[in-house]
Amino acid sequence: MNKTLWIGVGATGLVLAAGAAYAAMGHGGPHGGRMMKHMISARIEDAEDYIDAAPQQRAAIEQSKDVILNAIQQRMQGHRTDHGKMIDLLAADKLDTNALYAIADQRAQDIQELAKVIVPEIQKVHDVLTPAQRQKLAARAKERQGRWHGGFGGPPEE
């Protein structure tokens, strides 16, 4: 797999995982899912503008975004139940580690199933972009990655 696709997979995965975790933890109340969708949509629109995406490219990207977000939303419904179970387990006098492992195993399975939806959609987006557009996005991702590796806003570690 080429480096540009890995960058796309990593960046998309990070954004989606962070949004899914945030919503699954119950933050933001009943509007948390809508806020996540809005933030992701804004990021994607910014990237489309940045690479001067053509209308047909934007349509393909939008379709893939919808498929991915719908898949995440379906998974999040089950995670809300798990969150309550985890609270009950942690509040118990004796911790049931087997139950915690079972929740973790289910989450790992959910991620594997989600990847079966997300990876083909990333492939579709990758294929609709030109090599120059992919390189432009990769350069931007590397630039932003350098900012994140410095910890709490400090300079990147060498």
Query: Structural domain boundaries of the chain?
Result: 3-142
Burial 51-88 (b: 16+ CB within 10 A, else e): bebeeebeebbeebbeebbebbeebbeebeebeeeeee
Query: What's the DSSP call for residue 63?
Result: H
pLDDT, residue 8, reads: 52
H-helix or E-strand containing 155? Answer: none
pLDDT of residue 72: 86
- For residue 15, the model assigns a pLDDT of 45
On the CB side of 8, how many CA atoms lie within 13 Å of its CA? Answer: 24
Note the pLDDT of residue 26: 44
Burial environment of residue 127 by CB neighbours within 10 A (0 to 12, 13 to 18, 19 or more):
exposed
pLDDT of residue 32: 58
Residues 6+ apart with CB under 8 A from 53: 61, 129, 133
Which phi and psi (to 5°) does residue 94 adopt? -120, 125
CA angle at residue 117 from 32 to 136, to 5 degrees?
Answer: 80
How much is the pLDDT for 94? 95
Residue with tokens 């911790």, as numbered in its chain:
95
- Per-10-residue mean pLDDT, the chain, length 158: 49 47 45 78 93 96 93 79 86 94 90 93 95 93 72 50
**Between helices 55-91 and 3-24, what is the axis angle to 10°?**
50
